[in-house]
Amino acid sequence: MNNASEFEKAVAIVKEKAIEGQKTVNGQNNVEGPKAVPGQKAVSDQKVVHDQPVFDHQDIAFFKKTLDILKRDYGNVLGQNLKIDMQRGKPCVEQLELANEMLDWNSAPFKCEDGTESRNYGGDLCGIPECRKLFADLAGVKRDNVLISGNSSLSVMYDFIVKAMLLGVYGAEKPWLKYPGKLKFLCPSPGYDRHFKVTEVLGFDLVTVRMNPDGPDMDEVERFVNCDDSVVGIWNVPKYSNPEGITYSDNVVKRFAALKPKADGFRIFWDNSYFCHDLYEEGDVLLNLLEECKKNGNENMAYIFLSTSKITFAGSGVSVAIASESNIKHIKSQIATQTIGPDKINQLRHARYIKNAETLKKIMMSHAAIIRPKFECARAVLEEEFSENGLCQWNNPRGGYFISLNAPDGCATRAVSLAAQAGVLFTGAGSTFPYKKDPNDRNIRIAPTVPSVAEISEAIKTLSLCIKIAYLEKQSGSLVI
């Protein structure tokens, strides 16, 4: 038996019966009878409409026969003792080695361009001048719009939210915690699980907003933000979004900039982590949110974040906050009692290594040369496994660190669990939604940057097998007539 062709036949049966089940009251192929069987809805004494495909005993027998063969293949995979981790978007060792020259200071001076001794206390709390200028140029803003911080942009976002809760944001009448009722944070989904966890732990109600092909559903965003004064923030990964790989369209960015928040302390959290992480020479272009906000008189509404974690050394980079001058001054006043000064040595070595936009482009193309074949391998296997049957859908990002795969509804949790038992680890199913609850149980995030190309091929084949098993298990438990 050809396993692939038999599975294709099983999918074809499901699709055929699904079409038949959609024919209703005045159509054909409805089940005649005075009563509806479980899982079906009676529309009259004579007609029954199926809520899901209904299979005969022959169909179910065929599903189970095909499933047995797939499970035999799965047993063979178990015997391989695979150990492949695709849970998180991390640089591989070859990428990390690209920045090793940062560790060799040679005889370079330790003084910053303004004369500040980088090894000592002191210096501007917003960062050394050459590092601020570098990221201002890269982001298309002024130096006074930039604050350089520690190694983790997620930590900075967490800090900004806590400050907003306890101390308030610039221009607001009071801190968030003094607002009446429970506060809400909007979460475009599928999205970044660590974002959602921050606001969950801090006690916000997380509100899911649907992601469209060009970014969040702005009708939903505007309805929540402009009409509900308990909505104080929204998460975004606007370029090569995690995990969808979407870059927000100009229209979406402009609609964000034109929001009219009901809450006077509302802030857009714009995590532009993948601002330079193109997989190809011609990358996507994202409109400058801060400039668009200025055009609408909303320049204080946005917090923009960047990071070098996937440019230099993950965990040892610098993070960047970009906002209006008023916002930056306000935040600076709040951190004055929090720290004596920034890590000037790390900022200085980053400024000297990255230098400018032209040098950064070369650095990132070196990264792309390492990881692009891995993305292309993953997509090629998915194409081979699912192009004919159309069972799964996935994105083809031009940058970032993830591939977003949608399995058949109700199959992601089982498939990810089966893969884990076979030694192939993915981020937990549901993690790309608030509270780890994917309403359709279908989204699987694939992080293909760390394993080798050969390991990725094996991992995606294993995941594909697990999806097929989960799918046929689900169909085998369907209605039988």
> How far apart, in whole angstroms, are the C-alpha atoms of residue 75 and residue 386?
21
What are 317-373's pLDDT values in tens digits? Answer: 999 999 999 999 999 999 999 999 999 999 999 999 999 999 999 999 999 999 999
Q: Report, as ranges of residue numbers, the positions in the chain whose pLDDT lies below 70.
A: 1-4, 21-52, 478-481
C-alpha distance from residue 75 to each of 3, 416, 456 (Å): 14, 16, 19
Annotated domain spans of the chain: 3-52, 62-94+368-480, 100-360
pTM across the whole model? 0.91
What are 69-102's pLDDT values in tens digits? Answer: 999 999 999 999 999 999 999 999 999 999 999 9
pLDDT of the residue at 3 = 62
At residue 237, the 3 state secondary structure works out as coil
Phi then psi for 264, rounded to 5 degrees?
-70, -15
pLDDT of the residue at 23 = 56
pLDDT of the residue at 134 = 98
Nearest to 62 by CA among 13, 21, 15: 13
Nearest to 402 by CA among 257, 245, 264, 297: 245
Contact predicate 235/434, CB 8 Å: no
Architecture of domain 62-94+368-480: Alpha-Beta Complex (3.90)
pLDDT of the residue at 18 = 73
pLDDT of the residue at 22 = 59
> How far apart, in whole angstroms, are the C-alpha atoms of residue 30 and residue 50?
8
Residue owning tokens 């968030």: 176
> How far apart, in whole angstroms, are the C-alpha atoms of residue 317 and residue 340?
19
> How far apart, in whole angstroms, are the C-alpha atoms of residue 135 and residue 202?
30
> How far apart, in whole angstroms, are the C-alpha atoms of residue 218 and residue 212?
9
Architecture of domain 100-360: 3-Layer(aba) Sandwich (3.40)
Q: What is the CA 55 to chain-centroid distance, rounded? A: 37
Contact predicate 147/321, CB 8 Å: yes
> How far apart, in whole angstroms, are the C-alpha atoms of residue 366 and residue 235?
30
pLDDT of the residue at 106 = 76
> How far apart, in whole angstroms, are the C-alpha atoms of residue 216 and residue 204?
20
Tell me how many degrees the CA angle 434-478-481 measures, rounded to the nearest 5: 155
> How far apart, in whole angstroms, are the C-alpha atoms of residue 300 and residue 289?
11
